[in-house]
Amino acid sequence: MLKANVDLQQDYDSVLAEILEKTHPVTEKEWLPLNRLVGRILAEDVLSPLDLPSYRQSAMDGYGIAAGETVGRQKVVTTISAGDKPGTVTIEPGQAVRIMTGAAVPAGIDYVIPQEQARIQEDSGVTWLLLKGDVPKRNHIKAIGSDVSEGQCVLKAGHCLRPQDIGLLASIGLTTVNVFKRVRVVVLTSGNELARPGESLQTGQVYDANAFLITSLCEALDVDVLAQITLPDEAEAVKKTFDDWQDQADVILTVGGASVGEKDFVASVIRSLPNHRRWKLKMKPAKPFSMAMMNDCMILALPGNPVAAFMSFQVLAKPVLKKRSGRRDWSGNVMSYPLKTGLDNRQQPLRWLPVRVVGEELVPLKPLSGGDLAGLSASDGFVRFESGREYAAGDEVQFWRI
């Protein structure tokens, strides 16, 4: 049960930990074919049903010889290509085979001499391999199961499937795997000033950038956005939308109306729910944040300024959606980069600031105003700058690429 109170000036890390502790993965699963798996989350471990390779396999184009045949001339009696059956080839003493990468290595062959290292002689239509007696340092033969062994766990539950993972699944002969169903999300923006792109702007109106910004961020996580709804500043409209979608959505993301203004009706509706929590975080931007539960539906309330909404999604909502999706990794692709120029954050709270990548270094940009989407678009990512610290050029910082 969430506490129905307000905590002011809360630490970001402790708030995120509390939110994630109350976040549970979806439970519904489905079996999907390989061509529908990119971005999906595995619901169970995948064990290989076979060895890879399943036969002794040549790792090079070259010539196969027996262990005792390292001196003199070896007659090349046949060529073995990938897909040929090795049981049809019999090797006698003094003989070698021409063999291609991926081909099955027949019994009696212990080494493959790479083509570029082989000395070949043609004599009256016969090909001879000339050997000096040096034992090859590597046999260039892949043993059965040297890549993947039968019964090996190749991918763990909670893994987000990438193209290379799907190639791996195909290589072990699987056609379907069990994944979590997509998290179902509703994006709700509110404000009397909002107009849809394409409409004529009236005095006092702005285009609803947040609806498309947050929806696009959701779609990049491969969640299922059920609806994108823009509401007026009316408490009843907000409450009805929550009631209408609570049994269909896993997460409702609200943008705007989440602070303490006279027309912040999203905040007032959330406060009226018996199971809610709201914070004022000690950070810039994205200071206000609220959450509530309606049955199994999570409501996450982001601030209305586009830059703050973007950052609130990145550092709070995104980890929640990842965990809700069944993923094991929630922190995102955080990298360490050096700063090209310093930054004084001694008199500031924790700040998330946009940066540009210049060569192998980061250049902090000026703090963006609440609606500066052009500045946000010009950045390559953002950095976490800790409160009370002065950063010098060359200092390593945490960098999130966007």
- Which CATH number do you get for residue 345? 2.40.340.10
The domain boundary, picked from 325, 343, 375, lies at 325
Tell me the mean pLDDT in the region 223-251.
94
pLDDT score of 227 more than 80: yes
List of residues 6+ apart from 191 with CB closer than 8 A: 208, 230, 232, 233, 256, 257, 304
Q: pLDDT-based confidence at 4, cuts 50/70/90?
A: very low
Q: What value, to the nearest 5°, has the Cα angle with vertex 295 and ends 187 and 43?
A: 75
Asked if residue 108 and residue 65 are part of one domain, the reply reads yes
CATH no. for residue 21?
Answer: 3.40.980.10
**CA dihedral of residues 352, 21, 216, 10 (deg, nearest 10):** -30
Enclosing H/E stretch for 225: strand 224-231
pLDDT value for 261: 61
pLDDT score of 219 more than 90: yes
Asked if residue 230 and residue 292 are part of one domain, the reply reads yes
Contacts of 383-386 with CB under 8 Å at 24 or more apart are 383/337, 383/352, 383/353, 383/355, 384/350, 384/351, 384/352, 385/343, 385/345, 385/348, 385/350, 385/351, 385/352, 385/353, 386/345, 386/350
How many structural domains is the chain composed of?
A: 4
Residue 249 lies in a domain: yes
Residue 7 lies in a domain: no
The domain boundary, picked from 127, 154, 180, lies at 180
d(CA 59, CA 50): 19
* Beta-sheet pairing, 141-142 with 57-58: antiparallel
Residue 5 lies in a domain: no
Asked if residue 93 and residue 208 are part of one domain, the reply reads no
The domain boundary, picked from 124, 142, 160, lies at 142
Output the 3-class SS for 170-182.
Answer: HHCCCCEEEEECC
pLDDT value for 308: 94
d(CA 329, CA 116): 45
Asked if residue 208 and residue 166 are part of one domain, the reply reads no
Residue 210 pairs in a beta bridge with none
CB 117 within 8 A of CB 124: no
Q: Which is more confident, 83 or 68?
A: 83
pLDDT score of 357 more than 50: yes
Residue 298 lies in a domain: yes
d(CA 167, CA 105): 24
CATH no. for residue 47?
Answer: 3.90.105.10
pLDDT score of 1 more than 70: no
pLDDT score of 247 more than 90: yes
Tell me the mean pLDDT in the region 79-98.
87
Tell me the mean pLDDT in the region 283-297.
92
Asked if residue 317 and residue 221 are part of one domain, the reply reads yes
Residue 71 lies in a domain: yes
Residue 3 lies in a domain: no
Asked if residue 235 and residue 203 are part of one domain, the reply reads yes
Distance from chain centroid for Cα 209: 25
3-state secondary structure of 60: coil
Tell me the mean pLDDT in the region 214-234.
93
Residue 208 lies in a domain: yes
Decide: pTM greater than 0.85: yes
Asked if residue 197 and residue 238 are part of one domain, the reply reads yes
3-state secondary structure of 100: coil
The total of other beta-carbon atoms located within 10 Å of residue 158's CB is: 19
CB 25 within 8 A of CB 180: yes
183: left (phi over 0), alpha (psi -120 to 50) or beta: beta
Asked if residue 295 and residue 162 are part of one domain, the reply reads no
pLDDT score of 177 more than 60: yes
Asked if residue 137 and residue 151 are part of one domain, the reply reads no
Q: Write the CA distances from 252 to 188, 221, 238, 350, 358, integer angstroms.
A: 7, 15, 11, 27, 38
pLDDT value for 2: 55
* Beta-sheet pairing, 288-294 with 276-281: antiparallel
Identify which of 327, 282, 307, 292 has the alpha carbon closest to the alpha carbon of residue 214. Answer: 307
Radius of gyration for the chain, computed over Cα atoms and rounded to the nearest angstrom:
30
3-state secondary structure of 245: helix
CB 282 within 8 A of CB 234: no
Angle between helix axes 235-245 and 265-272 (nearest 10 degrees) is 60
Asked if residue 214 and residue 86 are part of one domain, the reply reads no
Domain of 388 in residue numbering reads as 335-401
The total of other beta-carbon atoms located within 10 Å of residue 163's CB is: 10
CATH no. for residue 124?
Answer: 2.170.190.11
Asked if residue 394 and residue 308 are part of one domain, the reply reads no
The total of other beta-carbon atoms located within 10 Å of residue 278's CB is: 24
CB 303 within 8 A of CB 287: yes
Asked if residue 237 and residue 168 are part of one domain, the reply reads no
Residue 22 lies in a domain: yes
